A = this chain, B = another copy of it.
Amino acid sequence: MIDSSSLVERILVRDVRAIARAISKVENDAPHATEILKSLFAHTGRGVTIGVTGAPGSGKSTLVDKLALHYRGLGKTIGILAVDPSSPFSGGAILGDRIRMQGLANDPHVFIRSMATRGNLGGLARATVDAVAVLDAAGYDRILVETVGVGQDEVDIVKTADVSVVVLVPGMGDDIQAIKAGIMEIGEIFVINKAEREGVERTERELIALLEMSERSDGWKPLIIRTVATQNRGIAEFTDAIETYASFRQRESSSMERRVSVAENRLVEMLRERLLRRVLNEALAPGELQELAAAVAARRRDPYSVVEEIGNKVRID
């Protein structure tokens, strides 16, 4: 028997096992997950959430490790969520290379967790935001959310953070246009990692040129920081940049506007997931979806009529 209210109490005093259990419930959308989140909600809003994204190979994980170690040196407690896409076929979760984070894994003031995509119902962004809420309610000072890749999922996750960090490496020129389209506009801080490499000047120039093309409505000028995470270089400057932006956000008048927009996206994401699950469970008999899919695959039915037919079972008061 699990008692939700005692779980909530234990989370609020930062009991690591209770936190891990709550995040699992959130991930699996287990019974009581919503009750737990409702109870925790009033305790959220104190920690600063830092979203870090960038292309594979940019050294995000090492950067996040070093950032966490630096914050530990400042006496802050740290939650880390590493969002890993997982196999679409197996549905399994992969811990990635978080194992190497030796300096952090045994620190009782650091909580590390991987989040993975499950099945085709989506909900990774929703689950990650809810996991952040659990860590926030538990009182972690800084919550680092690291995402692999530059897809829409990553954008959705990073834009819900209080501070969004985009990691680049020298010599990405080829695809900087593509990255721009996806994640350039969400970055408050740009880190050029592996800055000892050739091409760092050019990458910085290109980045500055791109940033000059777009102006933010809140007046914030994105900061550019060079780091060599493996050698711990630039990490203090990176931390300062984060804190500078976090202070700016608190003063800044359009801050509420952004919070409303984040809340709206979150409501939409939660609704989307909930509605789909209800319709799949309640409007279809067990196995019916597979039968309909087989009919479509054999071209006996077209998918558009099938979806209309299912949609007709849904009524809105």
Inter-subunit contact A90/B316 (CB<8 Å): no
Inter-subunit contact B121/A268 (CB<8 Å): yes
Given contacts A150-B85, A153-B151, A181-B86, contact A267 B279 (CB under 8 A): no
Contact with B along A156-186 (1 / 0, CB 8 A): 1001000000000001101101111111111
A261 within 8 A of partner (CB): yes
Inter-subunit contact B267/A85 (CB<8 Å): no
Q: Which B residues lie within 8 Å of A283 (CB)?
A: 316-317
Inter-subunit contact B264/A311 (CB<8 Å): no
Residue of B nearest to A120 (CB): B265
Inter-subunit contact B307/A181 (CB<8 Å): no
A211 to chain B, nearest CB (A): 13
A108 to chain B, nearest CB (A): 27
A264 to B120, CA, bound (A): 10
Interface residues on A, range: 35 or more
A76 to chain B, nearest CB (A): 23
A298 to chain B, nearest CB (A): 8
A168 to chain B, nearest CB (A): 10
Q: Which A residues fall within an 8 A CB radius of B?
A: 34, 37-38, 41-42, 44-45, 55-59, 84-90, 94, 96-97, 116-117, 120-122, 124, 148-156, 159, 171-172, 174-175, 177-186, 256, 259-272, 274-276, 278-280, 282-283, 289-290, 292-294, 296-299, 302-308, 310-311, 313-317
